[in-house]
Each structure stands twice: as structure tokens, then as C-alpha cells.
Chains A and B, each alone.
Chain A
Amino acid sequence: MLRLLALLLVLAIPLQAEEIVSDLSQDEVSINATFDGSDILVFGAIRRDAPEPEGELGVIITVAGPDQHVTIRRKERKFGIWVNSDEVEIEQAPSFYAVASNAPLEDILRPSEDLKNRVTTSQAVRQVGANVLDSGSFAKALVRIKSDQDLYQLNEGAVSLSEDTLFSTSIEMPANLTEGDYATRIMLTRDGTIVDTHETVIPVQKVGIERLLYNMSRENAFWYGIMSLAIAIAAGWLASAAFSLIRR
């Protein structure tokens, strides 16, 4: 009798009824000299200990780059030319943010859940202490500009879901990535409520010569400068030497 009750309880708690099992096509993204963006395949399955519960099933996958503190400036016409005038600071905005889902987000995610878990792009951009009128338009501008650069992506319907169990999608990471840890979330929703979340991290790093040069420019800025000049002088001398050789 007690056992039956326990089983019923387990079934009643939706969190344990369905669980995400997933993996990525690559554990990390390496930015090397010929890096030109990268596609990451996110795939997995929904494990069930019991028959499938009722309600519309949703799979939402988000990939968020490291947060940045950004300043957004708006141009105004002054003295006949367009100059930056008002500015709004956004405390935390992901450098990259991709949302993919198996259906339109409004159908599979309640606004309250979105607010709590910061799923959609507009929620992921956190804005504090705005001192400019219509500061909302600045956050919108941020999303618009980043979307144009493919740094913010919303792909509703990009997650393919077969037999309500297997899911997969491909996240396209552009060439202009910032280094850091990219937090990946896979969320499972039933009737707009999140029932399970699976989180993992994709490290994005410069490697090889890119890493070497970048580190050198920050840590040994003086010698980096000297090296740049040495290369320039050497190239200049080589050119001059080649000139006189050809003329001779």
C-alpha cells in the first residue's frame, strides 16, 4: 500500500516523469587561424519511466556566450552631422545567444516561465539603471544589431523532434565569437511549463598562434609592440633589398 502511494507520488511529480539525455557533436570550439565559424550539433532523447504524460511537448535549446557589459550609444544630429549623444549601459548582455525550439516559443513556453528562466533573447539581456527616456529602444537596438551579426539567433522550429522522444538541432556559431564558456541549456516543456532542464558548457577558446599572439599582446604588450615593429622593419628592408636586386 505504501509502495503504491510512493509510486503514485513519483508519477505525480512531472520532473521525474521525463528526463533529458543529451550530447553535443563537439565538446569545445577552438578558434584557430582559419576559424570561420562552427556548427554544433545538439542531440539527445527524452527518457521516460512511465507512459508519456498529456500536454504539448516542447524542446527549447539555448546557447549563451559569456556576459558582457555593453554601452549602447545613439546618434543624434548636431551641427549638421550625426554624432553619438545618448547612451545606455547594459549590465549583462550575452556576447552570443541562440535560441532553438521545436515550435513557436509562445506555444510551448509560458511568459512566467520565460521570466523566471530567462529563455528568450529579450529576457537574457539584463538592463539596469537607465537614465535615458525610452531606454527600451536601446535594448531593442542591441538585439537588432546583434541579430544582424548572427550573434543573436532565434530559430523557432529548428529543433527536430521525432516520435516525441529524439531531438536534434544544429547551432551555427559565427566567426566573430568571443572567447569564454558557452552555457548550453536544453529545456523540456509540457503545456508551457518547464519540466526538465539539462545544462552543459561548451568552452570556446583561441588556440595555437591565435592564443599565443593574443596572450602576448595583453601580457607582454611591450615586447609584442617591439615584435610588430621588428617585422615591419624587416619587411621594409627586404622590400628595399629586393628592389635593388631587381634594378641591378
Chain B
Amino acid sequence: MQIYLPIAEISVNAFLLFGLGGIVGILSGMFGVGGGFLMTPLLFFIGIPPAVAVATEANQIVASSFSGVLAHLKRKTVDLRMGTVLLIGGLIGAALGVLIFNYLKSLGQVDLLVRLCYVVFLGIIGSLMFVESLNAIRQTNTPGAAPKRRRHNWVHNLPFKMKFRVSGLYISVIPPVLVGICVGILAAIMGVGGGFIMVPAMIYLLGMPTKVVVGTSLFQIIFVTAFTTMLHATTNYTVDIVLAVLLLVGGVIGAQIGTRIGVHLKAEQLRILLALMVIAVCGKLALDLILQPSERYSIGTGGH
């Protein structure tokens, strides 16, 4: 069934989008990631204009993270105070990100920037996750080697300290705000929630307990992506509501299935699979940048 997307102005197969939403939903249910970093490149591949893909994906992430955070609120695993601090940084970052996005769009380099961001971040996260899960598998095979954790690093010597009761932390607000800004910029440029960067940053930089990390990350992602959606909708007119709905339906159903599959598999194996997938997407995008393109010319509408 072909559906004409009013904003993207192309006709796409609705079942293909259901399917994409479903597959990414399954993965996000299995691995606990937003899935934006997979969905946005997939949308590029099927021919959705990058600007529309990025803006619409931000809107879809609002839905999946809202659904996720409700579950976490019930379990009381959301640090609202930390979330708010991250959020302040996130909103600043998102505004900066949209400014950068629009500036590069006028230069004709937005495509390059989005792709470069993907290659760099997917590459880093994919390799780190791969190494980490390999180590985890080795550790389970050789018991006794307890993971070391630094409780004190340079982060704890900064001013403007604040108490975060749920996380059990007493740290400066500067690092969370900075982390928020970085993730906000990425969210606006890449059309992702930034969970795959936020989560490691919260654990390793801020030293937050793992159990509250996912919920808190989701909490602030809702607002940052909602803000990003609004900025894209009002400045670029690139949010395609029909595309968002098609992806949402598949994503929501997929997430349910994914959660069930995830329960039956081993965490380390799951992460290795996810890492390989991330590296594969990264590799494909990197090849596109490095290899000579079959068509060197591209058309953009409008002048300066």
C-alpha cells in the first residue's frame, strides 16, 4: 500500500515503514536503546530527505521514550532532579544544534555533517560496546575478577555542588549540564535521542548507579526531542506527521515483542549483536563517504 507523505513529498510503501518501525522497535525493546541511531540512516536509505528524516525521527523518539519512562516512574528509577539539570543543558544544546543544522543547510553541507556525526559516534560506541561485552563474557568465564569502579575523579572537585538523592550523589552541576548540552546538539543534528551517548556518560563520567541511568536518560530525552521537534517544525517545516505515525505504530508493537525476546537472551550476547549492528551501519555510511559516489552531483531546491 503506497502512502504519499505530505511533507517529505514522496510516496512510500506503508508496510515497509511498519516493518522498519517494527524491526527497530524490536531492537530497542531488546537492547534498551531508543533506536533513533538506526532508524534515521534507514530512512536515508529508503529515500526520505535527510532534513525530514532527522526532524520526524525526533518526534518518534518522544513516543518511545515517553512509553519507557512511564514504566521507569512506576519502578521509581528516575532521578528527576538529575534529569532536570541534564535537561537544562539539553535544551541549550538542542537550540545550538538546530542553529548549526540550519547554517550548514544553507551551505549545502548538512548531509555531510549528519553522516559524519553518525560515522564518528556509531564507530566509537559500537567499538566500545563490542570490547566491553567481550570483556564481560570473558569475566563470566573466569569468576572472581570483580569490576573496579572509581568513586572519585576530577568531576568531584568542581564548584556548584548539588545533592542528587535518588542517585546518591553530591556533585557539581557543571558536568551534567555539559553532558546535556552535548547530547542536545547531537539530538538536533542527528535526529536521535542521544541515549547511546548519555547512558555511558552518566555511568562513567557522573558515576550514577546503573539502575537509575536508563529512566533518567529517557526522562530528559523526552523533553529534548520534543523541543527539537518543535524547533524543526517551526523553523524548517520538516516534521512529517504521517511518516511519524507509520513508524510509531510499528515501533510500539515491535518494542513489545523485543522486550519478550530480550528476556530469554543473555545480556552480553545481546550487546555483542547490537555492537556488530552498530558497526555495520557505521561501516556502510563510512564507505559512502570514502568511496567515489556514482553520482557526484546533487540537486537542492532554492537559492541562497
Contact = CB atoms under 8 A, between A and B. Distances in A.
A224 B233 contact: yes
Interface stretch (B61-69, B145-153, B270-278): B61-69
Contacts of A222: 230, 233-234
Contacts of B111: 84
A229 B237 contact: no
A142 interface: yes
B261 interface: no
A33 B300 CA distance: 25
A242 B256 contact: yes
A175 B2 contact: yes
Nearest to B245: A231
Contacts of A123: none
B197 to A, nearest CB: 22
Contacts of A75: 293, 296-298
A68 B302 CA distance: 7
A32 B4 contact: yes
A218 B4 CA distance: 18
B71 interface: yes
B11 A232 contact: no
A82 B296 CA distance: 9
A146 B301 CA distance: 13
A167 B2 CA distance: 33
Given A71-B299, A73-B298, A228-B241, A237 B67 contact: yes
Given A214-B7, A225-B229, A225-B239, A236 B292 contact: no
B59 interface: yes
B256 A33 contact: no
Contact of B112 (A34, A83, A221): A83
B67 A236 contact: yes
Contact of A68 (B9, B10, B112, B301): B301
Contacts of B108: 71, 73, 84, 87
B255 interface: yes
A206 B111 CA distance: 28
Contacts of B3: 33-34
A217 B291 CA distance: 37
A238 B252 contact: yes
A153 B253 CA distance: 42
A35 B3 CA distance: 7
A237 B64 CA distance: 9
Contacts of B296: 74-75, 82, 141
Interface of B: 1-4, 6-7, 9-11, 59-60, 62-68, 70-71, 108-109, 111-112, 116, 226, 229-230, 233-234, 237, 239, 241-242, 244-245, 248-249, 252, 255-256, 259, 289-293, 295-304
25 contacts: A36-B2, A69-B303, A70-B299, A74-B297, A75-B298, A80-B290, A82-B290, A82-B292, A87-B108, A145-B297, A145-B299, A176-B10, A176-B11, A210-B4, A218-B237, A221-B234, A228-B241, A232-B62, A232-B66, A233-B63, A235-B245, A236-B65, A239-B255, A240-B68, A242-B252
